[in-house]
Amino acid sequence: MNEAATRVLVIDDEPAICELIEAVAESIGFHVTSASSGDEIEAALGGRFDLVVLDLSLGDLDGIELMGRLGSSHRGLPIILVSGADESLITSAGRIAEMHRLRVLATFAKPFSLDLLRTAMSEMRNIGPRVIDPTGPRLLIEEGQLLDPEFLRLVYQPKVSALTGDVIGVEALVRWQHPVKGNVPPSIYVALVEEMNRTADLLDAVMSMAAHDRHRHRALASMPDVSLNISVLDLSDDELPRRAQRILTATAPAEAWTFEVTETAPITDMTPAVSILTRLRLAGFHLAVDDFGTGTSNYERLLVAPFTELKIDRAIINRLDVAAAEPDPMAKSGIDVGHSLNMQVVAEGVETLEQFRLVRDLGCDAIQGYFVATPVPPTQIDEALDTWAENFGASGLAPEDS
């Protein structure tokens, strides 16, 4: 076997379907393992793979349950779902997979076109650096290197006004980069940090780097807002509001920082979380609900905690049908909920002009996504914003000159 080949695991209780999928995967140079029976599946799950093609209806076994297991052992794993069930069920299953932090490349109702399957599998080539397999030999990060400043960086992604195109802030995103081991995707990196119970240390490192960058780079010093992601685990850390004030407000006032809390992870005990969020808000920091619409949507949390911003997850933006006559109900209800609670609503993951126009027309206040700019190091922010200003001017999105 070619060591560099992508390893595909096909899980389907019908061996004939496995064979078909195998043929497609092999035709594009992938290495394939198939599993049909319960024992085969158990054995295969202990092996290594970069992509899973999963049938949702596995006879005695439960494909949905398997997604849960895959999500907790292989966060960020690319997956293709196939099923004999109807389209809407498969779409819901796709959402569940996203909730489990799997990366859904495509969903197919049987019978499906082998050409489309081939195209979906070929997506693996665009995924960039090989997704790291957390069950593999401890390739990953030794504990001593987990928070080593030598390997940690922040990149910044602009967020712009949907109406004027002006930059209103940037989001800081962590990058763990090793000269030999390469990049570990943040979804996997953060999961490791959580597993090792080091989220408070990561947050301190992120806050320090952001404060330092803001002090050092003019593009960030003049930025109205810089947002930082926090793990829900940090919301049981009583010391957080004090540390945030100490580390961050030396370079910019609390009002110029936002904390983003992901919506996908369940908060088991709301009371301490709400009190920490409230203390942060009282200190002047802004608070955003991140990834809204994918997780266990917890409206109660929105109502009881003083959030100022709601970020609609890119999975929802991605699914928008730009040609649809009716507004997408998920996107529309997120925007309405946000506005009724006086929050600024941001669309995440906007990749095209059509999506930009659509979410603006639906009422989003701000836009973030590759269409505007990808995350960049501090030294490249000015250039990214210049390019955006030009593109925005040429796109026909700018308000009429008057």
157 binds, among ligand C2E, Mg ion, none (CB under 5 to 8 A by kind): ligand C2E
Radius of gyration of the chain (CA): 22
**CA atoms 21, 112, 95, 98: torsion sign:** positive
Using CB under 6 A, which residues numbered 365 to 384 contact ligand C2E? 368-370, 375
Q: Does 196 bind ligand C2E (CB under 6 A)?
A: no
Tell me how far, at minimum, the Cβ of 10 lies from ligand C2E, in Å.
25
134 binds, among ligand C2E, Mg ion, none (CB under 5 to 8 A by kind): none
Q: Does 76 bind ligand C2E (CB under 6 A)?
A: no
What kind and span of H or E run contains 345? Answer: strand 344-347
Tell me how far, at minimum, the Cβ of 62 lies from ligand C2E, in Å.
28
Given the rule CB under 6 A, which of 61-69, 160-168, 223-231, 240-248 is the region that contacts ligand C2E?
223-231
91-104 as b/e: b if 16+ CB within 10 A: eebbbbbbbbbbbb
Q: Does 291 bind Mg ion (CB under 5 A)?
A: yes
Closer of 103 and 281 to ligand C2E (Cβ): 103
Q: Does 290 bind Mg ion (CB under 5 A)?
A: yes
Given the rule CB under 5 A, which of 44-52, 82-90, 217-225, 288-296 is the region that contacts Mg ion?
288-296
Long-range Cβ contacts of 56-65 (<8 Å, 24+ apart) = 56/81, 56/82, 56/83, 56/85, 56/89, 56/90, 56/93, 57/13, 57/83, 57/84, 57/85, 58/11, 58/12, 58/13, 59/13, 61/13, 63/11, 63/93, 64/93, 64/96
Residue selected from 75, 198, 281, 314 as contacting ligand C2E according to rule CB under 6 A: 314
Q: Does 293 bind ligand C2E (CB under 6 A)?
A: no
Q: Does 309 bind Mg ion (CB under 5 A)?
A: no
242-279 as b/e: b if 16+ CB within 10 A: eebbebbbebbebebbbbbbbbbbebeeeeebbebbeb
Tell me how far, at minimum, the Cβ of 295 lies from ligand C2E, in Å.
11
Given the rule CB under 6 A, which of 32-40, 129-137, 228-236, 356-364 is the region that contacts ligand C2E?
228-236
Q: Are 97 and 79 in contact (CB under 8 A)?
A: yes
Tell me how far, at minimum, the Cβ of 174 lies from ligand C2E, in Å.
3
Q: Does 290 bind ligand C2E (CB under 6 A)?
A: yes
What are phi and psi for residue 296, nearest 5 degrees? -75, 85
Given the rule CB under 6 A, which of 98-106, 143-151, 181-189, 277-285 is the region that contacts ligand C2E?
181-189
196 binds, among Mg ion, ligand C2E, none (CB under 5 to 8 A by kind): none
Closer of 291 and 328 to ligand C2E (Cβ): 291
How far out from the chain centre does Cα 20 lie? 32
What DSSP designation does 6 have?
Answer: P
Q: Does 201 bind ligand C2E (CB under 6 A)?
A: no
